[in-house]
């Protein structure tokens, strides 16, 4: 959780720029002897892969992941297993189109990290956003696939619950629909409407934001490291660290401010010898510790800054100018944030689980 490393016992360090040789991650602290396969990791990467339909960027990356270390195939153990040593993952950048970067080299795109990287570092790899590109999130997804191996009994499911100003109708929720549309949307009717809406956005050269909900089921009560490593605090940090995210909420979130204490309290009864909550306004977290209910996080993604319509900006030489993003254009970057949010949920939970096990046995 400093610089380019996330986590404490389950630690993910990522590296690489959008248009460099490759991007990658080192996953450290993973328990040994977990069965692992490149194919399983690749499966999660494919969900995030660009260019799969007209609604996401047309950049064409194979996003083929390689495991460089930390696993071992022994004739005795039969099949690849983690060894407890660092697992290095590498993804080569194959679609590094040679092009003229002149404009984004010299002018700061409003809403992008161009200006702030320049202010901080005085030098930046401007090609495709460099380190600040959403391309880095592929590493998160790959690392998240490994995190899931640590907590196989936890089921993590992300979906888009709002596109632009259009929210889903929760009474239409059907988990089976999530994989049935290009938006990871659980409301089939909304997905249909979004298709029309997003086509309009795309054709107009504009972009829109989104809200993603990620739910983890099967998290036992007791995970979390109060007070500054609270489960919700780390989820907030994890989600906010994803490109373009501007807000995070747990359970009822901002809406809880408008509820009365009576409405908001999740009452409890016993059922089958276990606590049975009558509602889940808390989003499965109390005092920074999981309660055994579903852990529910939502995060807001702002509209992509790269749009085809000119915006006022300045050059690095301090002159006023206008800028237009050319070429590939992602009308709703929030769609591909769904597998990324799932991955960050997995990483936070795996790390909290290991720390919990460390302190508690």
Which member of 50, 70, 128, 144 binds a copy of itself (CB under 8 A)?
A: 70
Contact region with a copy of itself (CB under 8 A), list: 38-46, 50-58, 186-194, 288-296: 288-296
Q: Which is nearer to a copy of itself, 176 or 331 (CB)?
A: 331
Bridge partners of 298, per DSSP, are 213, 249
- Interacting residues with a copy of itself between 49 and 68 (CB under 8 A): 66, 68
Closest CA to 57 of 137, 123, 114, 1: 137
Q: How far is the CB of 46 from a copy of itself (least distance, A)?
A: 22
Prior bond of 179 cis (ω within 30°) = no
Nearest residue (CB) to a copy of itself, 122 versus 176: 122
Binding to a copy of itself in span 235-274, by CB under 8 A:
235-241, 243, 245-254, 256-270, 273
Instruction: Kindly determine how many residues on this chain lie close enough to bind a copy of itself according to the rule CB under 8 A.
Output: 154
By C-alpha distance, which of 203, 197, 204 is closest to 181? Answer: 197
> Which residue is listed with tokens 């450290």?
28
Mode of pairing for the β-strands spanning 5-6 and 11-15: antiparallel
Please count the other Cβ atoms lying within 10 Å of the Cβ belonging to residue 77: 11
Residue of 137, 142, 144 lying closest to 10 (CA atoms): 144
Applying CB under 8 A, among 48, 59, 112, 148 the residue interacting with a copy of itself is 112
Please say which residue, 5 or 180, places its beta carbon nearer to a copy of itself: 5
Nearer to a copy of itself, 177 or 232 (CB): 232
Window contacting a copy of itself (CB under 8 A); options: 42-50, 157-165, 170-178, 185-193: 157-165
Which residues, including other chains, have CB under 8 Å from residue 193's CB and lie 6 or more apart? 166
By rule CB under 8 A, what string of x and - marks binding of each residue 185-224 to a copy of itself?
----------------x----xxxxxx---------xxxx
Please state the closest distance from residue 355 (CB atom) to a copy of itself, in A: 6
Q: Beta partners for 82? A: 71
**Strand 268-271 relative to strand 245-250, pairing:** unpaired
Q: Does 354 bind a copy of itself (CB under 8 A)?
A: yes
Whether residue 208 contacts residue 201, with contact meaning beta carbons closer than 8 Å, is answered with yes
- Which parts of 20-39 interact with a copy of itself (CB under 8 A)? 20-24, 26, 28-33
d(CA 252, CA 296): 9
- 82 SS3 class: strand
The residues in 291-330 that bind a copy of itself, with binding defined as CB under 8 A, are 291-292, 300-307, 309, 311-314, 318-320
């Amino acid at each position: 959780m400093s610089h380019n490393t996330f986590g404490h016992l389950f630690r993910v360090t990522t590296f690489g720029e959008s248009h460099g040789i490759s991007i990658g991650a080192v996953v450290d602290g993973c328990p040994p002897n977990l069965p692992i396969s490149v194919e399983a990791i690749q499966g999660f990467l494919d969900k995030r892969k660009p260019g799969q339909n007209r609604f996401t960027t047309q950049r064409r990356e194979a996003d083929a992941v390689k495991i460089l270390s930390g696993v071992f195939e022994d004739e005795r153990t039969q099949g690849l297993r983690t060894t407890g040593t660092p697992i290095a993952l590498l993804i080569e950048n194959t679609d590094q189109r040679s092009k003229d970067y002149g404009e984004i080299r010299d002018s700061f795109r409003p809403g992008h990290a161009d200006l702030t990287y320049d202010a901080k570092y005085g030098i930046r790899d401007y090609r495709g956003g460099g380190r600040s590109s959403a391309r880095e999130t592929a590493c998160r997804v790959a690392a998240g696939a490994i995190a899931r191996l640590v907590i196989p009994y936890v089921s993590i499911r992300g979906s888009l619950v709002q596109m632009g100003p259009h929210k889903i109708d929760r009474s239409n929720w059907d988990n089976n629909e999530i994989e049935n549309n290009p938006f990871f949307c659980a409301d089939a009717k909304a997905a249909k409407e979004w298709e029309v809406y997003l086509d309009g956005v795309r054709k107009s050269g504009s972009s829109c934001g989104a809200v993603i909900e990620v739910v983890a089921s099967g998290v036992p009560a007791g995970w979390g490291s109060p007070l500054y490593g609270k489960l919700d605090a780390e989820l907030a940090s994890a989600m906010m660290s994803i490109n373009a995210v501007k807000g995070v909420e747990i359970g009822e979130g901002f809406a809880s401010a408008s509820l009365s204490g009576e409405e908001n309290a999740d009452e409890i009864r016993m059922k089958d010898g276990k606590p049975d909550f009558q509602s889940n306004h808390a989003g499965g977290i109390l005092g920074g510790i999981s309660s055994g209910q579903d852990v529910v996080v939502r995060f807001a993604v702002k509209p992509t800054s790269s749009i085809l319509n000119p915006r006022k900006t300045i050059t690095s030489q301090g002159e006023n100018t206008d800028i237009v993003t050319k070429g590939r254009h992602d009308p709703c970057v929030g769609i591909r944030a769904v597998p990324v949010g799932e991955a960050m949920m997995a990483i936070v939970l795996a790390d909290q689980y290991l720390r919990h096990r460390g302190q508690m046995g």
